[in-house]
Amino acid sequence: MTQKEYEETGKIPLIGTPFPKMVVQTTHGMKKLPGDYTGHWLILFSHPADYTPVCTTEFVSFQKHYDEFKSMNVELLGLSIDQVFSHIKWVDWIKENIGEEIKFPIIADHGEIAKRLGMIHPKSSNTVRAVFILDPKGIVRAILYYPSELGRNMKEILRMIKGLKVATKYDVAMPANWPDNELFGDHVIIPPASDVETAKERLADESIECLDWWLCHKENPDK
């Protein structure tokens, strides 16, 4: 299915599908999604509302990790159903009272964008804590949803970016709790062989460790 065909279905974007094209107003001006971020990874995240306690802690945390995200070619983009003047004043409040300057843009939404992306809480008009991770080609690679009472974990989002980049580059997978897996440490998982010959080759490859032909791992190529 082409991007145009998928967008015409009106369905919420899913993992592995192109992010729908849209033009949005942000605190940094108008942005074209995903086109303006082509060549970069993008974390698009929604928060329930400006001037709320948990959301404020999240924005401070995103900003404190901003340089680390940038070093990995990752851009940040916030969103809530608040208007641009509210975003601007909230960002000013954070700088004046907490000392953190929010350097990434925030989308001002009337509700259409959040509805299109499945971000609306079913029991309120606010957005849920959603996270969409897009790769440099504008493909949705991961989606997270959090309840209003639970703030996001920046370390997990950073871990996901690191893992997705390794997976994309080397066609491998990450075990549970990577890079601190209980069985394989920071090794990566090799996809199961699809034929007998490949399975034999892997068992004979000294750079690959296998518990069986279908469960093989090796050192992280990016280590």
What local confidence, expressed as pLDDT, does residue 2 receive? 57
Instruction: Pick the closest to residue 156 from 19, 56, 58 (CA basis).
Output: 58
Helix (H, G, I), strand (E, B) or coil at 216: strand
Is 210 assigned a catalytic role? no
Percent helix / strand / coil, the chain, rounded to 5:
35, 25, 40
Contact (Cβ atoms closer than 8 angstroms) between residue 203 and residue 213: yes
Domains and CATH numbers, the chain: 3-152 (3.40.30.10), 171-223 (3.30.1020.10)
What local confidence, expressed as pLDDT, does residue 82 receive? 94
Contact (Cβ atoms closer than 8 angstroms) between residue 26 and residue 106: yes
Contact (Cβ atoms closer than 8 angstroms) between residue 134 and residue 190: no
pLDDT in tens, 142-168: 999 998 889 999 999 999 999 999 999
DSSP annotation of 20: P
Catalytic residue among 33, 42, 44, 55: 55
What local confidence, expressed as pLDDT, does residue 7 receive? 53
Please tell me which residue, 9 or 108, carries the higher pLDDT value. Answer: 108
What does DSSP say about strands 129-134 and 209-212: parallel, antiparallel, or unpaired? unpaired
- What distance in Å separates the CA atoms of residue 118 and residue 206, rounded to the nearest whole number? 47
Instruction: Pick the closest to residue 87 from 63, 74, 104 (CA basis).
Output: 104
The size of the chain, in residues, is: 223
pLDDT in tens, 206-223: 899 999 889 999 999 988
Least confident span in 77-91, 110-124, 188-202: 110-124
Average pLDDT (79-94) is 97
